Amino acid sequence: MFERVKTQLRARLGSEVYSSWFGRMKLMEASKGCVRISVPTAFLRSWINGHYLDLITDLWKQEAPDTLKVEIIVRTATRNVRATQESQPAAARKVSSRPQTALASGTLAGNPSARAIPAKMQETDGRSNILGSPLDSRYTFDSLIEGASNRVACAAARTVAESDSNAIRFNPLFLHASVGLGKTHMLQAIAAESLRRKPQARVVYLTAEYFMWRFATAIRDNNALTLKEQLRDIDLLIIDDMQFLQGKSIQNEFCHLLNMLLDSARQVVVAADRPPSELESLEPRVKSRLNGGVSLEIGAPDFAMRLSILKQRLASAQAEDGSLEIPEEILVHVARSVTGSGRELEGAFNQLLFRHSFEPQITIDRIDEILGHVCRAGEPKRVRIEDIQRIVARHYNVSKTELLSNRRTRTIVKPRQVAMYLSKVMTPRSLPEIGRRFGGRDHTTVLHAVRKIEGLTDGDRQLAQEIELLKRLISDQA
Ligand SMILES: Nc1ncnc2c1ncn2[C@@H]1O[C@H](COP(=O)(O)OP(=O)(O)OP(=O)(O)O)[C@@H](O)[C@H]1O
């Protein structure tokens, strides 16, 4: 039923709007007339509530007439955030996953409905970062552990934070890394250090989603001009999670701003989960401007870095609880076992701290049990060929039997080739294995399909977007 509602939404709103706002929706619950759909950020929740809730409710009612209510919820970080914060409309900041985050009252600039901001995030709010998101005061260069995987990026970040406007060297500075490897930490450290050195500097740190929200709200309230003038007047613009910048008109605005800042020698720093050339949803002009500076990758931390991160976490936990003792051998064991991102390490450390509070003599075996859970959570999800076939068939409105049949009509050949292509790129299965799963076809047929779709997506933007949408739908199901 959820798939049908999504198909209807896509048909009514078009692929671009659909993938911008609905691509990351997940159905959490549908019972007793109540439907709960989750999205990853408060920004998306607020936007969907404000613009599309009635439409979604109508579509559900068409599928299930006894539907009373559709509710959009945020699926992450809810443990740290009080209900009052739920009304906050913007992905104005990236909420840290630390459980001890405290809340205090305050107001986001220009955003009266955003009432609660974690206390540790308030220090620079109300200063020069007024147009942007509040900074988390824990994210500084002092707390950023340097090592082989981020040394070059750290050096560039420090140079940017320390240089004055006559000595700009890397512009724009583009940092990319997969999730949890410290992009936000590094960006906010740049903002904090710049403000520390030049308290009067106009520094703006924003997530791309917040940028979209600021513009969309300003356009709605006929304030776009004022906002543009304010943004024009800044010294350092820092944009996080660039991969989420969607929509042609917002990208045009961003492109104007980027051109204007770069041409007037103002520093711009951008981070994303991939390099500029791979940001499929970005307009070529934006990509090319972002490509014109320096692009650096942050890699996964090695053992030495992981151990340093854990030791640093322990030191700050000990600053709050002087009696806390965790033997070094345990930290070494955790650093060896949790080999993923800083965020996974943080998760492992929080688990450790929690267990330690009622099991102070915790053994390495017990830690393995606990970390088994943390490590599994960090593993990539396994995508199944059956899920790919089911989702692709539904997307193109053909049956799975038709997809696997020998019929050669165009309306079936294309979905079949797309499904084979996705099976190749999203699973570790070999070409012969994929052929077998597609009604006993030869591996050369699968190879032909893969090449055909690869060739088509190069020139056909709509197909490329369709493939991206399908990838997301499939990953969400995995
Ligand atoms: N080198 C590091 N030193 C200290 N802490 C780190 C380092 N790398 C990551 N972390 C910590 O790991 C957590 C996740 O980092 P952060 O949020 O900056 O990652 P990200 O790359 O922005 O993730 P996402 O792609 O999900 O936005 C943070 O608490 C951060 O402080």
Q: What is the pLDDT of residue 113?
A: 27
CA 287, CA 176: separation in Å to the nearest integer?
Answer: 14
Residue predicted with more confidence, 472 or 271: 271
Q: What is the pLDDT of residue 43?
A: 63
Long-range contacts of 402-406 (CB under 8 A, 24+ apart): 403/438, 404/438, 404/439, 405/439, 406/439
Collapse the DSSP code of 102 into the 3-class scheme (helix H, G, I; strand E, B; otherwise coil) and give the result.
Answer: coil
Reported as a pLDDT band with limits 50, 70 and 90, residue 167 is low
Ligand 1 atom nearest to 186, measured from its CA: 18
Q: Is 297 in the pocket of ligand 1 (CB under 6 A)?
A: no
Q: What is the pLDDT of residue 165?
A: 64
- Residues of the chain with pLDDT > 70, as a percent, come to 83
CA 234, CA 262: separation in Å to the nearest integer?
Answer: 11
Q: What is the DSSP letter of 111?
A: B
Residues in the chain: 478
Q: Is 185 in the pocket of ligand 1 (CB under 6 A)?
A: yes
| C-beta of residue 40 within 8 angstroms of C-beta of residue 74 | yes
- Domains of the chain, CATH where assigned: 2-76 (3.30.300.180), 83-297 (3.40.50.300), 303-378 (1.10.8), 385-477 (1.10.1750.10)
Q: Cα(268) to centroid of ligand 1, in Å?
A: 20
Backbone phi and psi for residue 294, each to the nearest 5 degrees, phi listed first? -115, 130
Q: What is the mean pLDDT of residues 267-279?
A: 89
Q: What is the pLDDT of residue 16?
A: 63
Structure tokens at 77: 């970080």
Q: Is the pLDDT reported for residue 231 higher than 60?
A: yes
Q: Cα(75) to centroid of ligand 1, in Å?
A: 19
Q: Is 343 in the pocket of ligand 1 (CB under 6 A)?
A: yes
**Mean pLDDT, the chain, as a whole number?**
80
Q: Is 258 in the pocket of ligand 1 (CB under 6 A)?
A: no
Q: Is 181 in the pocket of ligand 1 (CB under 6 A)?
A: yes
* Ligand 1: residue whose CA is nearest its atom 4: 144
Q: What is the pLDDT of residue 179?
A: 82
Q: Which DSSP string corresponds to 195-227?
A: HHH-TTS-EEEEEHHHHHHHHHHHHHTT-HHHH
Q: Is 101 in the pocket of ligand 1 (CB under 6 A)?
A: no
Lowest pLDDT segment from 116-125, 171-180, 263-272:
116-125
> Sign of dihedral through CA atoms 264, 269, 271, 275?
positive
Structure tokens at 380: 């990539």
Q: Cα(300) to centroid of ligand 1, in Å?
A: 10
Measured CA to CA in angstroms, residue 174 lies from 25, 83, 314, 348 at distances of 29, 35, 31, 29
Q: What is the pLDDT of residue 478?
A: 58
Q: What is the pLDDT of residue 166?
A: 60
Collapse the DSSP code of 27 into the 3-class scheme (helix H, G, I; strand E, B; otherwise coil) and give the result.
Answer: strand
* Ligand 1: residue whose CA is nearest its atom 31: 185
* CB neighbours of residue 66 within 10 Å: 8
Q: Is the pLDDT reported for residue 94 higher than 50?
A: no
Structure tokens at 419: 């499904």
Peptide bond into 172 cis (omega under 30): yes
Q: Is the pLDDT reported for residue 304 higher than 60?
A: yes
* Ligand 1: residue whose CA is nearest its atom 18: 182
* Ligand 1: residue whose CA is nearest its atom 30: 182
Q: What is the mean pLDDT of residues 44-60?
A: 83
Ligand 1 atom nearest to 345, measured from its CA: 12
* Ligand 1: residue whose CA is nearest its atom 26: 179
Q: What is the mean pLDDT of residues 11-40?
A: 81
Q: Is 123 in the pocket of ligand 1 (CB under 6 A)?
A: no
Q: Is the pLDDT reported for residue 15 higher than 60?
A: yes
Q: Is 136 left (phi over 0), alpha (psi -120 to 50) or beta?
A: beta
Per-residue three-class SS string for 392-418: HHHHCCCCHHHHHCCCCCHHHHHHHHH
Q: Is 184 in the pocket of ligand 1 (CB under 6 A)?
A: yes
Collapse the DSSP code of 119 into the 3-class scheme (helix H, G, I; strand E, B; otherwise coil) and give the result.
Answer: helix
Residue predicted with more confidence, 87 or 240: 240
For a ligand 1 pocket test, name from 181, 314, 345 the mutation site with the most ligand atoms within 8 angstroms of its C-beta.
181
Q: What is the mean pLDDT of residues 225-240?
A: 89
Q: Cα(345) to centroid of ligand 1, in Å?
A: 10
Give the tens place of pLDDT for each residue, 236-255.
Answer: 999 999 988 877 888 888 89
Backbone phi and psi for residue 239, each to the nearest 5 degrees, phi listed first? -120, 125
Give the tens place of pLDDT for each residue, 444-474.
Answer: 899 999 999 988 988 888 898 889 889 888 8
Q: Cα(46) to centroid of ligand 1, in Å?
A: 26
Highest mean pLDDT among 277-291, 379-393, 442-456: 442-456
- Residues at the binding site for ATP are 180, 182-184
User: What ipTM was estimated for this complex?
Assistant: 0.98
| C-beta of residue 171 within 8 angstroms of C-beta of residue 138 | no
Q: Is 69 left (phi over 0), alpha (psi -120 to 50) or beta?
A: beta
Q: Is 95 in the pocket of ligand 1 (CB under 6 A)?
A: no
- Helix and strand totals (H; E) in the chain: 20, 10
Q: Is 180 in the pocket of ligand 1 (CB under 6 A)?
A: yes
Give the tens place of pLDDT for each residue, 99-147.
Answer: 222 222 222 223 322 222 233 333 333 344 557 777 888 899 999 999 9
Reported as a pLDDT band with limits 50, 70 and 90, residue 374 is low
CA angle 16, 251, 198 (to 5 degrees): 140
